[in-house]
Amino acid sequence: MSAALRHVFLASLRRRRLATALSLFAIALGVALGLAVQLIHGAALDEFGRGMRLLAGEADLQVFGPRAGFDDAVYAEIAAQAEVADASPVLEIDARLPGRDISLRIFGIDMFRAAHVHPALMPQVDTAARETGPLAALAADALFLSPAARTALGIAPGEMLAVQSGTHALPLRIAGTVPAAGLGQELGVMDIAAAQLLFGRIGRISRIDLRLKSGIDRDAARRSLAALLPAGVEVLTPETAEAQTSALSQAYRVNLTMLAIIALLTGGFLVFSTQLLAVARRRQELAFLRALGLDRAALIRGLLAEGAVVGLTGGLLGIVLAYGLAGLAFNYVGGDLGAGYFRGLRPALRFDLRPSVAYVLLGVLAGVAGAWLPAREAARMNPARALRAGDEAEVFQSRPRAYLTPACLALATLLCFLPPLGGVPIFGYAAVAFLLAGAVLALPTLVQLSMGFLDGTRDVLWMLARARLAAAPGQAVVAAAGVVASVALAVAMAIMVSSFRHSVDGWLESILPADLYLSASPAATSGFLAPEMQEQVASLPGIAAIRPVRFDTLRLDTERFPVTLIARPVDGGAALPLVGATVTADSPDAAPSAWISEAMADLFAVKVGDVLQLPISGRRVAFHVAGIWRDYARQHGAVVIELADYRALTGDFNANDLAIWLADGAEPDTVAQAIRNALGDDTIKIASPGDIRAISLAIFDRTFLVTYLMEAVAILIGLFGVSTSFAGLATARRKEFGMLRHLGLTRGEIGRLLTVEGALTAAVGTAVGMVAGGAIALVLVEVINRQSFHWSMDIRLPLAGLVIFAGALVLLAALAARLSGHQAMRQSAVLAVREDW
């Protein structure tokens, strides 16, 4: 068998180099994309998990509060509990660095406590800093940087680093390093008291890490400690805390992996169409082998081996590509492919055996699966009949199975109503698969039906083409199936992206009504505008009104990631991009209103009219859900409350951002300069809504770049399917063409016949693909996006684009069909007929 395998089967791959190369490339692409996504996110998540574990250190339990922190008296109480062996308080600050684009995570720790709980955070006083005294680490201006942070900031011990607190830039002295922080963690450490004073957080901490005494049951301790904590402060196990955060990027990872799987499927499909072609071409050769004694099983094994070799080679090539891609991504985009999930991490690319092997196996699987049907088809042939010429067309026989289509469509519809599994829209993806299958299965019947509509033309070539497709739709199916699948996926993606972009654009417009936006820092960082700064801005000439915005996070339960709290003037909801019904509180003494984002409504199962308990300032406050708004920025959920309510509850009058309305005739640039002069240039950012919109859409387009790439590949593969199947058909139809030549058709006319057949096939395939694509787009928008990211969007068809796309595709398919049939047309008509002795 092995000699036969080498000479008969594998050698055949070498004879059709282009086809083999293309199949191989598609599989390599699928493997590369899938594995690269896996590697990049794997490394980022690993580094992220390492960071979480590093910070958790040897903690058995961790107490977390909102981002603004919680009362540090809780620490004194918790640390004194009998079951607690060690308690380490942490104040985590995402410090904005004036004049730099990055922020730095600074951990204010009690070094005496941290030594026992997270030794990795322990600072080491640098020799150069020693002269300032042995207590250097406790000094109010001493900051210690991890090796990664030192590299990223390009700063050496003894030098100064300015950090932003409010709108002030305050200098800190780099007093040494955090040697155990690991190479991937960009962070700084300072004394907790110094951090509280520096960042205006006196009396606040963000976390307490606990080590329990030996023999204490962790769950029991968790329950008893939880009872001591104020509202919105939760005690979690480090595993839960890590899982909450990694779950955040899960949907994004799953969806990227789905793209890779689609690429692999197309690779498998390419293997299928080239193998089918090869089997048709080699029908007599294979029949001869059978007649010589090669048994059926050996034939199947041989043909499957061809697919496996393509899959293996493609898989191995894909692995190489994947590591290259991942390396590039780390250098240029970061571990989250630009999606912004992991900041302050420097993940390193490592060889990861298990996913690499798994993806090679997937590549082999795609190759074998693609080779399976043609192999079975070849094994089924009757050697005696197949030895005669003209039997090739048998290969393309297919039985119409249109009756399965309604079942597929019904199943797909049903699947759309199922909830996600573990936050992953598995059933949505299954629905997409069934829609595709339904479309492909309906194809033979639809080809036949549509040929009926073309009746009435007098052109001989048209009549011939129509008659052929109507009589033998199976031949068209192989070519058209590829078109259907690629068109459906491309169209679905195009509709989804266009709807998404349009909705994001509209959303940006509605959330950015003011003339200028002033930000002391992004939500997470240490900048803020104190009340006097806000007044100072409001009183500048040319400014008609300002509206402050304040951000915090709220922990609603121990299960989920905290939601974002946004406090701003809301005008009873009028200033929000609301979706669906709203209610207004009728009596003035009713609970204050809250407007929740779609993600929050989904994740926490809250609806308009419900009462929502929000833990603000350590107390549970009842809010009345007045509406649901669309939020494309925070997929973990967000809730908006009136700024006045927030200020009354918390006494916090600071703001993160200001929306600024200009007086009539005021020049935005002049006003922006006046603000910069008043507050300082480094510590604030001023942007016009136009800038913000342009930047947001640029980020959007970058995120979907990989999607556009996939669309192009899908189209290429569809065209390639047309080309290979027509090449196969042309071989199979040599006798037919010879006959037509005898009947008087010129070579050119046969070429035109093939062109028409190709165009008709592609037209039907494209039409079916468009309809299927529309349906899939609906599933993408309403099910997959909704379940993955919890946001809705308005469907928008890019009509002109789709029409141009369809026309171009039909033209290209016609061209491909004609080029592929070229070889058949060159053959002598006499020879072709003579083949049939």
Partner 1 sequence: MRERPFWASVLFMLGLASAPAVTSAGPDYPPVREGGQIVFPTDTGAHPDYRTEWWYVTGWVSDEQGVERGFQVTFFRVRTGIGDDNPSRFAPRQLILAHAAVADPAEGRLLHAERSERALHPLAGAATGRTRAWTADWSIEWDGARYHSDVEAESFAFDLHFDPAGRRPVLNGENGFSRKAPDPKHASYYYSRPQLAVSGTLRLRGNTHQVKGRAWLDHEWSSETMPPGARGWDWMGINLHDGGSLMAFRMRDDQGGAMWSAGTLQSGSGAPAALRPEQVSFVPGRRWRSPRTGAEYPVEWEIRVDDRRLRLQPLMDDQELDSRRSTGAVYWEGAVRLLEGGREIGRGYLEMTGYAERLQM
Binding site for partner 1 (CB under 8 A): 72-73, 76, 79-80, 89, 110-113, 115, 122-125, 127, 130, 132-140, 191-194, 196-197, 202-203
Q: Which is nearer to partner 1, 140 or 357 (CB)?
A: 140
Q: Which is nearer to partner 1, 111 or 393 (CB)?
A: 111
Q: At its nearest, how many Å lie between partner 1 and the CB of residue 590?
A: 39
The answer to whether 479 and 720 are in contact (CB under 8 A) is no
Q: Which is nearer to partner 1, 47 or 83 (CB)?
A: 83
Q: At its nearest, how many Å lie between partner 1 and the CB of residue 580?
A: 46
Q: At its nearest, how many Å lie between partner 1 and the CB of residue 617?
A: 18
Q: Which two tokens stand for residue 702?
A: 């970058």
For residue 616, give the H/E element and its range.
Answer: strand 611-616
CA triple 314-308-444, angle to 5 deg: 95
The answer to whether 501 and 665 are in contact (CB under 8 A) is no
Q: At its nearest, how many Å lie between partner 1 and the CB of residue 214?
A: 10
* 200 phi/psi in degrees, rounded to 5: 65, 35
The answer to whether 662 and 541 are in contact (CB under 8 A) is no
Strand 187-191, strand 142-145: pairing: antiparallel
Q: At its nearest, how many Å lie between partner 1 and the CB of residue 230?
A: 17
Q: Which is nearer to partner 1, 145 or 781 (CB)?
A: 145
Q: Which is nearer to partner 1, 104 or 137 (CB)?
A: 137
Residue 390, sorted as left (phi over 0), alpha (psi -120 to 50) or beta, turns out to be: left
Q: Which two tokens stand for residue 308?
A: 């496996």
Q: Which is nearer to partner 1, 1 or 73 (CB)?
A: 73
Q: Which is nearer to partner 1, 133 or 580 (CB)?
A: 133
For residue 752, give the H/E element and its range.
Answer: helix 747-779
Q: At its nearest, how many Å lie between partner 1 and the CB of residue 586?
A: 45
Q: At its nearest, how many Å lie between partner 1 and the CB of residue 133?
A: 5
Q: Which is nearer to partner 1, 75 or 726 (CB)?
A: 75
Q: At its nearest, how many Å lie between partner 1 and the CB of residue 179?
A: 9
Q: Which of 761, 776, 774, 763 is nearest to 806 (CA)?
A: 763
Q: Which is nearer to partner 1, 200 or 577 (CB)?
A: 200
Question: How far is 567 from 550, CA to CA, in rounded Å?
Answer: 5
Q: Which two tokens stand for residue 122?
A: 């322990």
Q: What is the DSSP string of 648-707?
A: HHH----BSEEEEEEPTT--HHHHHHHHHHHH-SSS-EEE-HHHHHHHHHHHHHHHTHHH
Kindly tell me the burial class for residue 380, based on how many C-beta atoms sit within 10 Å of its own C-beta (0-12, 13-18, 19 or more): exposed
Helix (H, G, I), strand (E, B) or coil at 93: strand
**Helix residue spans in 81-186 (DSSP H):** 111-117, 147-153
Q: At its nearest, how many Å lie between partner 1 and the CB of residue 657?
A: 28
Question: How far is 598 from 178, CA to CA, in rounded Å?
Answer: 41
Q: Which is nearer to partner 1, 530 or 706 (CB)?
A: 530
Q: At its nearest, how many Å lie between partner 1 and the CB of residue 147?
A: 15
**Helix residue spans in 333-391 (DSSP H):** 353-380, 383-386
Q: Which is nearer to partner 1, 202 or 800 (CB)?
A: 202
The answer to whether 494 and 704 are in contact (CB under 8 A) is no
The answer to whether 577 and 503 are in contact (CB under 8 A) is no
Helix (H, G, I), strand (E, B) or coil at 239: helix
CA 91 from chain centre, in angstroms, equals 32
Q: At its nearest, how many Å lie between partner 1 and the CB of residue 514?
A: 37
Q: Which is nearer to partner 1, 128 or 815 (CB)?
A: 128
Residue 171, sorted as left (phi over 0), alpha (psi -120 to 50) or beta, turns out to be: beta
Q: Which is nearer to partner 1, 127 or 584 (CB)?
A: 127
CA triple 417-243-111, angle to 5 deg: 155
Q: Which is nearer to partner 1, 143 or 626 (CB)?
A: 143
The answer to whether 72 and 155 are in contact (CB under 8 A) is no
**Helix residue spans in 227-295 (DSSP H):** 238-248, 250-281, 283-291
Q: At its nearest, how many Å lie between partner 1 and the CB of residue 142?
A: 10
Question: How far is 314 from 384, CA to CA, in rounded Å?
Answer: 36
Q: Which is nearer to partner 1, 73 or 648 (CB)?
A: 73
Q: At its nearest, how many Å lie between partner 1 and the CB of residue 134?
A: 3
Q: At its nearest, how many Å lie between partner 1 and the CB of residue 660?
A: 34
CA 99 from chain centre, in angstroms, equals 32
Q: At its nearest, how many Å lie between partner 1 and the CB of residue 314?
A: 53
For residue 188, give the H/E element and its range.
Answer: strand 187-191
